[in-house]
Amino acid sequence: MNPCRILVVDDNTDIHRDFKRVIDTVNNAASWSQLANDPLAEQQPVSTVEPQFEFTSVTSGEAAVNAVRSAIARKRPFHVAIVDMRMPGLDGLATVEKLWTLQSDLQVAFSSAYMDYSWNSVITRLKRPGLRLVPKPWTGSEIIAILHELRDRIRTRAPRSA
């Protein structure tokens, strides 16, 4: 199974570090779990176990659009985007609208401390069921739950390349 490719869009680079820490923890736990269930584990280095998630981060909506465009061109599209709502330039809502013009099947969660829109207006404007909001400050377990939920949605769809 290919890893779930995640794009984090947030102007605060400390958030990137926090997401990376959570994702690394999940990937490392999966590696140890897979090895523990493998009778040949002592012969298999941890680095050969495929991670559950791949992580990329950018600091603006504009950079997110470029990252998604580039990923599609490389035939390695993102599966999930976690987007801050309040950012300089394109805000989170405008960013997601632009991302969906490039990749309509991208799963999205908003992670924000401040909402400039009501959640109802976000849902109405984007017209997408299943959007998620993870208010800041969040816990690692909240992020893990959202990542697993969105990844599972992808797995239940028809297979696609990359």
Q: Is residue 82 part of a domain?
A: yes
Q: What is the pLDDT of residues 6-16, one digit of tens each?
A: 999 999 999 99
Q: Is residue 78 part of a domain?
A: yes
Q: Is residue 28 part of a domain?
A: yes
Q: What single-letter amino acid sits at 56? A: T
Q: What is the pLDDT of residues 12-38, one digit of tens each?
A: 999 999 999 999 998 888 654 444 455
Q: What is the pLDDT of residues 124-162, one digit of tens each?
A: 999 987 899 999 999 999 999 999 999 999 888 755 444
Q: Is residue 162 part of a domain?
A: no
pLDDT at 46 > cutoff 60: no
Q: Is residue 161 part of a domain?
A: no
- How far apart CA 109 and CA 107 sit, in angstroms, is 7
Those residues whose C-beta lies under 8 Å from the C-beta of residue 143, and which sit 6 or more positions away, are 19, 22, 82, 111, 134
Q: What residue numbers bound the domain in which 150 lies?
A: 4-156
Q: What is the pLDDT of residues 87-122, one digit of tens each?
A: 999 999 999 999 999 999 999 999 999 888 999 999
Look up the CATH number of the domain holding residue 45: 3.40.50.2300
Q: Quote the number of domains for the chain.
A: 1
